[in-house]
A and B are shown apart, each in its own frame.
Chain A
């Protein structure tokens, strides 16, 4: 009690070394204050080199303290951001990865029940603005915000369950209050299926709904244009919006329907592929190998492209497959870049290409290679990161820094290609109004060209990937779980320890895990591997050196490109 009071008093006054406390006294005070989640103590501890050095005498304790302090610092910075009602869902995502059962914050009383965050805020940040507190309540999905204050029970029906059949699922306020944010989000996802008013809790689903509305407007415009025959109109009658868009694509393909080409392109890009436009598995494999050569040709000779190619010493390895989440991905197991087949098929629909025409036309393959080459550059950076981590033998979860590096390399590539390759320019600019992939590729290029390396990093952190942990935040999440498990093991008998170590997950398996997987599986990982991960994440300088070097290389490349650029003839293009 006395120690806690001393700690609180000294730290709040901003005094530490100069206050006359010895390093051991300060360390003891930090331990006490951090156990209750004191953010001022966290900041003071992180700056107190002497106390941190002293803590290193017990590496377990040092790592646990560091994890707590980093987590508190990260939370304080997160809450200080300008959250508004419009960003509540973004804040929800950021909090859901930080406040969960296996994270450091609940060990300091901040969770796992989300409302504990409000209690902590009241204690340590009593002057936190009321407007932001309201946003916070929406972000943690407080019962009263989601369901109102008039009820403490909510019945839901989805899937096979229905209220009439007595199979509806009932959520009570008390059960809700026992759920972590992740669990609350899962329930809300089910609610969205039953009631569109819950769309406000998922920005991406809301945007998709708005996009569907835009296509629906285009479908209505074509139907009302007078360009369709009575037989065609009869076919469309009574069909769902998705079916109508598909059928219209068929009409456009098989006859000369005279409607605005912009409406045609909008519907063609949004509709499902016709049978002849679908790339079957065998043709996807073939296209992947054709793209290896075509994309390599595309990348060669540009600064970013050459670096991307260097990541594949044995030659590019591209696969074409359906991806649900994005336009591309990197598969560390096979070392291949996977390009989304639907994104390619959408381009084919816009251009009127079929699977057969593509397979027989090197020119069409070259066009697809140009179109998808920025995605290959982006994924090549992820390959470099995976290779670097494997070479260093360090644990490297997916972090904001990875996205900054990968998107910067892509931005550099797009900037250079747009300047030097007129066909690349034409393909992307002519597609951007109908393809979100093309629009976004150009946007990343514009952001990198205008902001350059330093400002672009801020854009990636704040606008594109604010829900992804930074290196510091990811390290603190994993470090807390690992350190606690190592503490627990130190109390086990040698035979118990040997049992875990003989059957536990090895280094190769552990290094492939995401921070959430790793934090949730620490009990099944070999002790030596946990100690290694603890050691890796306690020395962040190794990671920072790698990312800083990549940032500066991208910065230097664009600067030299601009310095060497010929003066633009006349005014910029309008």
Chain B
């Protein structure tokens, strides 16, 4: 067991060192403009992040969104969603429903030994009224197997009400990659332009 503890400790140390290296390099990101067809929104997106969109699903759900995936990721992806939820979207009854659902876990808790959901804060983003949600959670990577592998996930969300629906800018990363990639998210948020 001592050898195992030593091996696991060393592996954890090496993983931490690798993460620290990744953070140091995640600067100097180039951006390019993005504009979603249909005029739903536009923003700057990091040039070397991959951009994914499933137009078929967007139409099915009336949720028009892109997902940006960082070139460097941990076991859980470092990802930014920029989403427009149309008024008649399939998932949420308006932005209040979104904010309420995203402000606590399934038990209605805002804090326990593995999760912290900060209260929604009213803010102004690029001259628009918005709400800021922040949370940190330990999540499993294999919920259906007996593996206990988990990661610490940190998330930041901006929710912007609009006349016909609402927008969500959602940044999610493993805690070790959060700080390094946060400036990318903030730059996207600052450049964001949506329907009134």
Kindly state the separation between the CA atoms of A443 and B76 in the bound complex, as whole angstroms. Answer: 15
Report yes or no: A559 in contact with B8, Cβ–Cβ below 8 A: no
Q: Is A207 an interface residue (CB 8 A)?
A: yes
**Which chain B residue shows the least CB distance to A439?**
B140
With known contacts A82-B77, A572-B104, A444–B143 Cβ distance under 8 A: yes
Which of the candidate stretches A39-47, A180-188, A194-202 sits at the interface with the other chain?
A: A194-202
With known contacts A84-B22, A453-B61, A425–B145 Cβ distance under 8 A: no
Kindly state the separation between the CA atoms of A441 and B93 in the bound complex, as whole angstroms. Answer: 25
Report yes or no: A82 in contact with B71, Cβ–Cβ below 8 A: yes
Report yes or no: B148 in contact with A211, Cβ–Cβ below 8 A: yes
Report yes or no: A213 in contact with B76, Cβ–Cβ below 8 A: no
CB distance from A434 to the nearest CB of B (A): 11
Which of the candidate stretches A9-17, A150-158, A457-465, A490-498 sits at the interface with the other chain?
A: A457-465
Report yes or no: B73 in contact with A82, Cβ–Cβ below 8 A: yes
- List residues of chain B with CB within 8 A of the CB of A204: 142, 145, 147, 149
Kindly state the separation between the CA atoms of A229 and B50 in the bound complex, as whole angstroms. Answer: 61
Report yes or no: B141 in contact with A213, Cβ–Cβ below 8 A: no
CB distance from B103 to the nearest CB of A (A): 6
With known contacts A213-B5, A442-B107, A454-B61, A552–B90 Cβ distance under 8 A: yes
Report yes or no: B106 in contact with A326, Cβ–Cβ below 8 A: no
Q: Is A86 an interface residue (CB 8 A)?
A: yes
CB distance from A84 to the nearest CB of B (A): 5
User: Pick the contact of A209 from B4, B105, B108 — CB < 8 Å?
Assistant: B4
- List residues of chain A with CB within 8 A of the CB of B97: 562-563
Report yes or no: B106 in contact with A414, Cβ–Cβ below 8 A: yes
- List residues of chain A with CB within 8 A of the CB of B19: 86
Total count of chain B residues near the partner, CB < 8 A: 67
Report yes or no: A203 in contact with B106, Cβ–Cβ below 8 A: no
Report yes or no: B75 in contact with A196, Cβ–Cβ below 8 A: no
- List residues of chain A with CB within 8 A of the CB of B145: 204, 325-326
Q: Is A60 an interface residue (CB 8 A)?
A: no
- List residues of chain A with CB within 8 A of the CB of B100: 562, 568
CB distance from A148 to the nearest CB of B (A): 16
Q: Is A449 an interface residue (CB 8 A)?
A: yes
Kindly state the separation between the CA atoms of A209 and B149 in the bound complex, as whole angstroms. Answer: 10
The contact size tier of chain A is 35 or more
Report yes or no: B107 in contact with A418, Cβ–Cβ below 8 A: yes
CB distance from A552 to the nearest CB of B (A): 6
**Which chain A residue shows the least CB distance to B71?**
A82
- List residues of chain A with CB within 8 A of the CB of B139: 443, 447, 463
Q: 1/0 per residue A425-459: CB within 8 Å of B?
A: 10011001100100111111111111011110110
Q: Is A132 an interface residue (CB 8 A)?
A: yes
Report yes or no: B73 in contact with A216, Cβ–Cβ below 8 A: no
Residues of A that sit less than 8 Å from B by CB: 80-87, 90, 129, 131-132, 196-197, 199-200, 203-204, 206-213, 216, 240-241, 325-327, 378, 403, 407, 414-415, 418-419, 425, 428-429, 432-433, 436, 439-450, 452-455, 457-458, 462-464, 548, 551-552, 555-556, 558-559, 562-563, 568, 571-574
28 residue pairs of the A-B complex, CB under 8 angstroms, read: A82-B49, A82-B71, A86-B73, A129-B48, A196-B4, A199-B11, A209-B4, A209-B8, A210-B12, A211-B148, A241-B1, A327-B146, A425-B107, A433-B113, A436-B140, A442-B105, A443-B137, A443-B139, A443-B140, A444-B143, A452-B92, A462-B77, A463-B76, A464-B143, A555-B90, A559-B91, A562-B97, A568-B108
Residues of B that sit less than 8 Å from A by CB: 1, 3-5, 7-8, 11-12, 15, 18-19, 22, 48-50, 57, 60-61, 63, 67, 69-79, 81, 90-93, 97, 100-111, 113-115, 117, 119, 137, 139-150
Given A196-B8, A445-B105, A552-B60, output 16 extra A-B contacts at Cβ < 8 Å: A81-B50, A83-B73, A129-B48, A196-B3, A200-B11, A203-B149, A327-B144, A436-B148, A439-B114, A443-B143, A446-B137, A452-B92, A453-B91, A454-B63, A572-B103, A573-B107
